[in-house]
Amino acid sequence: MAIRSLALTALAGAASVAAQDTIDVPTDLSTRALVPDVYGYSIEPIWLNDYLSTPLAKTLLSSIADITGAPPPIRVGGNTADQTYLHPTLPGGNISDPIPGLPNAKLFNVTPSWYDTWADYFPAGTPLIYTLNLAANESAWSNAVAQAEAAYAALGDKLVMFELGNEIDHFINKGWRSASWGVDEYIGQFRNLTGQIRAAEWYKNAESKPRFQAGVFADPPWVPDQQDEIDDFSIANLTREGEGGIVERDEDREIIGSYATHLYPQSSCDAKRWLRMRLDLLSNHTTLWLNVSQYIPQVAAADKAGAPLVMGETNSVSCGGKSGISDTFGAALWGIDYVLMGASVGIQKTYFHLGAQSEYSSFTPKPYTLKNESLASGIRPGWYGHYFVAKVAAAGKGENLSIAALPGANSSDLSGYAVYTGEEQQRALRKLVFLDMGVWNGTEGLSNNSTLNATDGTVFSNGTRPTTTLSVKTPWCNGANVSALRLTAPGTNAKSGVAVAGVTFNSATGEKVGEEKTETLSVGENGVVEVKLTRAEGVLLEVEDGSNCSSGPVAETSGALKRGPITWVGALAAGVGAVFMIAV
């Protein structure tokens, strides 16, 4: 996918610290909503047919819905969205035609029947987002207007939002807009195209009218545009800090369902950035915080403008991923930390990009040949990260969850989150998540028949795999039972052998294999829970009766800026000399 960036250095005073043995759960943590469908997928349009051709994706996604009660949201969009054209018919009776063919299609022609093929594939209740072609504006976006009508005719109320274009802050470099392209021109074109769609009879008559996901920007706010494109695109600028701009008119504010940005922390797009890809850097919690924290002002602007910010497309390494990094257990741990960290600062949902032949895809539906190797369809460690997140985000009937990062579990190799149930001052701590992000390169689980053998691990950790005992002070009652559910693998470098509470998935069918096995812990004096955590492992703790014996004030929902030794205020005060970004 498009070029991205990576934050490589720590803020002043934010050096890595050793994993702590004792962790306190403060009573005044700021929280943000944790929605059940916090983890979603973005599918490149030219690869959608492959995912629809087998039951693998539907079976996997249904297993998430069984846990959370909400299927993962699906966005159909990506680079080829702005090269997609609708035609009444195509030669040979085809309903879609990637040109010059897969995997290197630069043009995607479709008919209205193409939308029918995905109308009934995904689990019931799956919210669908579709990216219209904003690039082609030669005829007042007649192609995009026709796409919108055809998509809604096939998908109906399953279609919850449209996007107008993909990564519009790269349109100048791609030759699709002039050098004057920026927020003001975008707002005018947004109003033009949305106005045409809303004026159409089908839209007026729709019982459930699709809204619009605005923004869809690629470049991180703190990093200069890496394609030499000078523009002013950011959610803060787009909304005039939430008080104007695209939401100056009430009619526009009402049709915007969310704002989207994109992020890829590493890149395989060219040789220069290829040399900077590293698994240990991807899975480093401090590095992740540096990447995610730059969106806090964008979250604030979106909130003030009346709609949430989502990470509308993301993955580990842009331009399709990098086997040996993207398809490892280390990347799965990163994905969990990423989604939960994002939720804790107000990024409501995170969509991981999928391509049927991409090295970063969590699951691939069909066999294919890549770099002279024959790969099978299959499931990679990233999927198990999603399954673990589903366990974290699952709520009881009628419950709403919220999440906060734990300041005492915040170092380069340790991450922790508190999950609450209830509203405002009545919140009660329900779950705790701890992720050991440290690197342990094991000698097992090195291969996966859906990944490249050439990138299987060859460098291994010495000695015995470390285990830490965490003593966590909670408000839970002395003697209360706490279930412990683990995400395990042979090591950071593992491509297989991953399990959640002992459960695995059949790589061919997507069906669950095995029975879930959890541990039962007991709360000790003063609410202390002790749990062992092995290097490169995740654990979810959940109190069984849901009650708290002690409580204190819980801060109102906010941006959850507190991050132990790393703070947003510290980032601002440190200045340019304390923080620098290296484009990757």
* pLDDT tens-digit map of 332-391: 999 999 999 999 999 999 999 999 999 999 999 999 999 999 999 999 999 999 999 999
Mean local confidence (pLDDT), 405-418: 96
Specify the pLDDT at position 219.
86
Specify the pLDDT at position 228.
52
Is 0.85 topped by the overall pTM?
yes
Specify the pLDDT at position 302.
98
Mean local confidence (pLDDT), 200-228: 86
Is 465:574 a contact under the CB 8 Å cutoff? no
Angle at 340 between CA 331 and CA 323, to 5 degrees: 10
Specify the pLDDT at position 547.
63
Say how many residues make up the chain: 584
Q: Quick one: 208 exposed, middle or buried, by C-beta within 10 A (0-12, 13-18, 19+)?
A: exposed
Mean local confidence (pLDDT), 61-70: 98
Mean local confidence (pLDDT), 213-234: 78
Specify the pLDDT at position 229.
67
DSSP 469-487: EEEEE-SPPTT-EEEEEEE
* 226 has pLDDT over 70: no
Distance, CA of 29 to CA of 404 (rounded, Å): 6
Specify the pLDDT at position 16.
37
How high is the mean pLDDT of the chain?
90
Name, in order, each residue with C-beta under 8 angstroms of 14's C-beta and a sequence gap of 6 or more: 286, 565, 566, 570
Mean local confidence (pLDDT), 472-489: 97
Is 10:286 a contact under the CB 8 Å cutoff? yes
